[in-house]
Amino acid sequence: MSKLLNRVFFEEQALDYSAGKAMYNKLKAQGHDIEFLKSHNRVTGIPGKTPRDSFFQGKNTLVVGVRKTLDFASCKPSAHFQLPLVTGCQGICEYCYLNTQLGKKPYTRLYVNISDILAQARKYIQERQPEKTIFEAAATSDPVPVEPYSGALAQAINFFARQEYGYLKFVTKFPAIDSLLNLDHRSHTRIRYSLNTDRIIHDYEHRTPALSNRIQALSRLLEHGYPGGVIIAPVILEGNWQEEYGHMMKKLAMALSDYRDIHFEVISHRFTRKAKSNILEVFPQTTLPMGEDESRTYKFGQFGYGKLVYNKELLQEMKSFFTDAIGEHFPAAEIDYII
């Protein structure tokens, strides 16, 4: 992550926390100049003369602050609640829904008051017990690339290992998971990898690792006893999609056939009109399929806005394909959903 950073900002209050001081010292030791802010929600020092320039300047910016809002959002269908450890992602995926949520300059934000966030998680767990409560730590981020600075995932994994009724999930595209391998997770954290075909990764998932690197990292986690998972998303139903995803599934099966505790989540490509507009501003030459023709239908989502999803016939074809492919290669796996 350090070589991708052009600028670092710290909220002044962040240095009141030991985690904030530790992050500050690490970043200074790496030679970063650090500017200070009154609030991590008002970052005015990121340049950018065009939407494209603003986007990439934001992607190369890190902001460290104190999370004051401790009401957790819901996180259907993957979990009960979001766990807000990090906001933002260093990857540059053209289709990413965060393109509509993180503004024109989508910087990555770390929080130093992790103990406050985990204390709030404990309250949610206590309110719902004896039912299990599941938290998603990557709803608005990929927290793995910034783990060397924050240590937030390790802290959360250790926390959830001691919660009888609490469980953690997160998803990543990045393989830098060495610091997590030997933690005493007690199977209370499920780590999933976001996978796609080689072509989709090459064409749309810029600044992210290759499919083989992701599969290898997931294999290492499974070797260390973590419950695992695979998110195949977004599934783009264009061209020879069945052949390409079939090849991806065979690759996955060759690496992971010895492991049983794997969950699958499959999500079809969808987009909002706002996202489409933002994507075209940043990637004017994109080939991402965002036509509004008979292959798409308009659907209102859980957060009150509409999106263009594939029509029922295509979604049923996709569901049948992945149900059969997962059943063939991973008969003991659990399919959480195909949507």
Q: Give residue 42's domain range.
A: 2-338
pLDDT of residue 259: 84
Tokens of 227: 């419950």
Average pLDDT on 97-110 reads 84
pLDDT of residue 102: 77
Residue 4 has pLDDT above 80, yes or no: no
Q: What is the mean pLDDT of the chain?
A: 94
**Residue 164's pLDDT is what?**
98
What would the pLDDT profile of 207-230 be if each residue is shown by its tens digit?
999 999 999 999 999 999 999 999
CA-wise closest residue to 194 among 230, 222, 235, 170: 230
Q: Which residues are CB-contacts of 296 (< 8 A; sequence separation ≥ 6)?
A: 308, 309, 310, 311
The span from the CA of 183 to the CA of 5, in Å, is 28
CA distances from 243 to 43, 130, 247, 265 (A): 45, 45, 6, 19
pLDDT tens digits for 141-194?
999 999 999 999 999 999 999 999 999 999 999 999 999 999 999 999 999 999
**CA nearest neighbour of 27 among 48, 47, 41, 6:** 6
Please name the amino acid found at residue 43: V
295-315 pLDDT tens trace: 999 988 665 678 999 999 999
Q: Which residue has the tokens 């999803």?
A: 309
Average pLDDT, integer, range 62-90 = 95
Convert the pLDDT of each residue in 244-253 to its tens digit. Answer: 999 999 999 9
Give dist(CA 185, CA 161) in Å, integer: 5
**pLDDT for the residue 120:** 98
pTM assigned to the model? 0.94
Q: Where are the beta strands (DSSP E) in 120-236?
A: 133-136, 166-172, 189-195, 205-206, 228-235
Residue 283 pLDDT more than 70?
A: yes
112 in Cβ contact with 14 (< 8 Å): yes
Cα–Cα distance, 307 to 297 (Å, whole number):
8
* Beta-carbon contacts of residue 25 (< 8 Å; ≥ 6 apart): none
pLDDT, greater one: 76 or 229: 229
**Tally of domains in the chain:** 1
The CB-side HSE value for 84 (13 A sphere, CA atoms) comes to: 19
Quote the radius of gyration of the chain (alpha carbons, Å): 20
Per-residue burial over 33-68, b = 16 or more CB atoms within 10 Å of its CB, e = otherwise: eeeebeebeebeebeeeebeebbbbbbbbbbbbbbe
Tell me the average pLDDT across 25-54.
90
Please indicate whether residue 53 or residue 101 has the higher confidence score (pLDDT): 53
> Residue 168: which CATH number?
3.80.30.30
CA distances from 129 to 123, 186, 284 (A): 10, 19, 49
Sign for the CA dihedral angle at 315, 193, 228, 131 comes to negative
Name the token pair of 296.
Answer: 């798409």
